[in-house]
């Protein structure tokens, strides 16, 4: 068994390399501390490029050359078109001045990203709001209410008249869908179903305190007379509702 220690060698080379490596590391550490101290305490800052330079004044020759360029001609055309639009808008305003009978209505589409913020900003200036919310549950005669909570909460404060859409559109997965005409046609053809369906509409309107509906019933193959009958029944029911 050897009498030497684990790290013992016959030559001092390893110890010398260790000493120099330690010295280099200490020097680098001291230099880093000094550089950090200078950086923190220094009040001298490097000059930054001017990101907002003052506009350069063009000479007469440069102005003449610019006026002959295609970019300047395109700008003159655009400016002329804008002036024409402004004049046409002013004439339109003169012919149709603002009056108290005008209704400021907005179509609120809750699925759009900025819809709620736009409604919150302008709702105080509106006379009426139209939004989607009533649908017919597929293969049933049931009315389903899917009204945006943002609209409901805002209108608790402003109490604006709201018309809610009643549609036969069926949303499959928020990306695809289609209009279901069979359920609507079955309701229209049956008198009992028509009455129950209209009563269901009235109940939902009272729950949300809405003033009426807008019908969006697409791709119907039923006779026009039957559809007109449904509309008359809805109109009559709403006249009675308004009377109360």
- What pLDDT digit, counting tens, does each position of 132-174 carry? 999 988 888 888 999 999 999 999 999 999 999 998 888 877 7
**pLDDT at residue 68 is higher than 80:** no
Q: Which of 205, 221, 223, 217 is nearest to 162 (CA)?
A: 205
- CATH class, 105-243 region: alpha beta
Q: What is the pLDDT of residue 242?
A: 47
Residue 240 has what pLDDT? 47
Question: 135 - beta bridge partners?
Answer: 144, 167
* Res. 238 pLDDT band, cuts 50 70 90: low
Percent of the chain with pLDDT over 90: 20
Please give the pLDDT value at position 158: 92
What global pTM score does this model have?
Answer: 0.55
Asked if 165 and 178 count as a contact pair (C-beta separation under 8 A), the reply is no
Percent of the chain past pLDDT 70, that is, above it, reads 80
């Amino acid at each position: 068994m050897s009498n030497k220690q684990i790290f013992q060698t016959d030559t001092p080379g390893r110890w010398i390399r260790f000493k120099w490596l330690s010295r280099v590391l200490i020097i680098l550490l001291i230099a880093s501390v000094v550089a950090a101290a200078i950086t923190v305490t220094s009040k001298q800052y490097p000059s930054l490029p001017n990101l907002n330079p003052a506009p350069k004044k063009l000479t007469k020759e440069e102005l003449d050359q610019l006026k002959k360029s295609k970019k300047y001609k395109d700008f003159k055309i655009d400016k002329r078109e804008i002036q024409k639009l402004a004049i046409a808008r002013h004439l339109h305003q003169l012919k149709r001045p603002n009056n108290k009978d005008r209704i400021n209505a907005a179509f609120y589409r809750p699925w759009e990203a900025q819809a709620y913020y736009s409604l919150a900003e302008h709702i105080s200036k509106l006379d009426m709001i139209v939004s989607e919310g009533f649908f017919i549950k597929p293969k049933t005669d049931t009315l389903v209410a899917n009204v945006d909570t943002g609209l409901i909460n805002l209108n608790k404060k402003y109490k604006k008249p709201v018309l809610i859409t009643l549609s036969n559109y069926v949303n499959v997965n928020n990306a695809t869908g289609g209009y279901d005409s069979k359920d609507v046609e079955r309701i229209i053809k049956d008198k009992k179903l028509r009455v129950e369906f209209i009563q269901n509409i009235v109940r939902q309107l009272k729950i949300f305190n809405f003033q009426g509906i807008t019908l969006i019933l697409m791709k119907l193959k039923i006779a026009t007379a039957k559809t007109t009958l449904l509309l008359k029944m809805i109109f009559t029911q709403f006249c009675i509702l308004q009377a109360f």
